[in-house]
Structure 1
């Protein structure tokens, strides 16, 4: 009778139908799937390409299944490989958590923090805090994924990352949301724009001007859309000239005179100070918005992630 079993035995694992597999083989297989290349996987693991190929071939032989599709230079994962990848990631993560727990028990903090952030917190807030924390704990590494708030929330739900920091909140039963940090949105225009000499303009005036939007999944866009609705308007009321999925690209578009936009003050501080962009207030509106720490409900955090979140909670004025 077939059975599935996992037991960690140092650098070995029992998996499949009683076969013993080396953890190193599973690491090689996962790296090939993630990087879609035997060559890049070999470089990442500091091994030769033939060694990586042999690890994957050995797994295929043990399981009696083709795990990857070799399509010229491209590597795809087979249906059986996709199943194995999910379990292999869990095995590797469990082993990593066990090592971290033992290291912490002996007084050391060792491991990798895996987190994801929306564009603004991931670009302008978390890198400095991660750097400070890792400087204080030299055996800790971090992997930071930057994407839209929606994509980060999905990665948290799927278990790809342990937590995220995003700029919007919505109903998601599998997540917990905790306010952490804050941001202010501001209207930005190019220096020769007529509004550059004004201290503030009304939302009604903004509706008349060519406007550049972030992508729909953006936390910045969600907040501005809510502000429009609170004032009896909608996104369709805007004179949209472009939708751009990058804050940096929008800044360049505004500088070029394509239109105006609403962006994070954190994101435009340097440009405003140098005179390449001008920040203009909206009449009667202070556009503050919180950032949220999101975690999957009932997920146990690794020791290093718990330590990092405690560090964030203790940051004064972050």
Structure 2
């Protein structure tokens, strides 16, 4: 027979034939799953596996509620939600590992379909009790004076803020950077602890604002609205379950800008 695996000490790696077999086998399994879902849909029943990828903000603060309501309508659907950076999710959609993704940035990628689905306002997050917390708005001049916590390089939030800085003749080098943290939740805790301030999604601050542990302040003269996009691979036929969920998202996500309210 053809050797599919090589054993290298304690590790096992696929041979070239093994990788080829895996690629074709994955395609067969995916086609089989689509056929099963199509038969379910033909009988009037939506069932099957829904596999979605998402960047941090929609995956943490938007999709769980929408998926919950989707499951109430279609209880036979089982969902797997993968949360990662926007570019990682896009790569997985391109590679066929995911059918559908929600990401917080858009770039030139001819192999993907991009559909804007909602917008979220970014605000300056400061700890409760911070001198700026009582302000309704702040300027970029105020921001550059504060110890600042950046998101990781891949972050869509960081990209939007960098563009705002550039529009005002500034760069990230003008910030008083004290940390770079790759998690919105971790940055929120760092802000609460007084390590610094940061630019975050207003949606992500709602709980902290309600509990009065953090404040979200709008920036003057700055277009800090971040857009989120639903992505799928061009010319790929979606599974029935994914197609139904995409249609559901289109209907539910026509909501206004997600605003955390005043801080």
Which of 292, 300, 303 lines up with 2:240 in the alignment? 303
Which of 226, 240, 246 lines up with 2:163 in the alignment? 226
Displacement after TM superposition at 1:295 (Å)? 1.2
User: Does 2:249 correspond to 1:317?
Assistant: no
Q: Match of 1:148?
A: 85
Q: Distance in 2 between matches of 1:211 and 1:234?
A: 13
Map 1:230-249 → 2, pairs under 5 A: 230-249=167-186
Q: Match of 1:45?
A: none
Assess if the C-alpha contact under 8 Å between 2:86 and 2:156 holds in 1: yes
SS in 2 for 1:125: helix
Q: Which has the higher helix share?
A: 1
SS in 1 for 2:49: strand
Displacement after TM superposition at 1:161 (Å)? 0.4
After the TM superposition, list the runs of 4 or more consecutive aligned residues in structure 1 that deviate by more than 3 angstroms. Answer: 68-72, 74-80
Which structure would you say has the larger RCO, counting Cα contacts within 8 Å and 6 or more residues apart? 2
TM-score where L is the length of structure 2:
0.91
Unaligned runs of 5+ in 1: 1-62
Q: Distance in 2 between matches of 1:163 and 1:82?
A: 24
Displacement after TM superposition at 1:241 (Å)? 1.1
Give a deviation string over 1:90-147, Cα, whole Å, max 9, x none: 1100100111112211222121111111100001111111111122112111111100
CA RMSD of aligned residues (A): 1.7
Displacement after TM superposition at 1:78 (Å)? 4.3
Displacement after TM superposition at 1:286 (Å)? 4.9
Assess if the C-alpha contact under 8 Å between 1:68 and 1:81 holds in 2: no
Change in CA separation of 1:294 and 1:210 when aligned onto 2, cut-off 3 Å: same
Map 1:72-87 → 2, pairs under 5 A: 72=10, 76-87=13-24
Q: Match of 1:38?
A: none
User: Does 2:48 correspond to 1:111?
Assistant: yes
TM-score where L is the length of structure 1:
0.76
Structure showing greater radius of gyration is: 1
Q: How many residues align?
A: 255
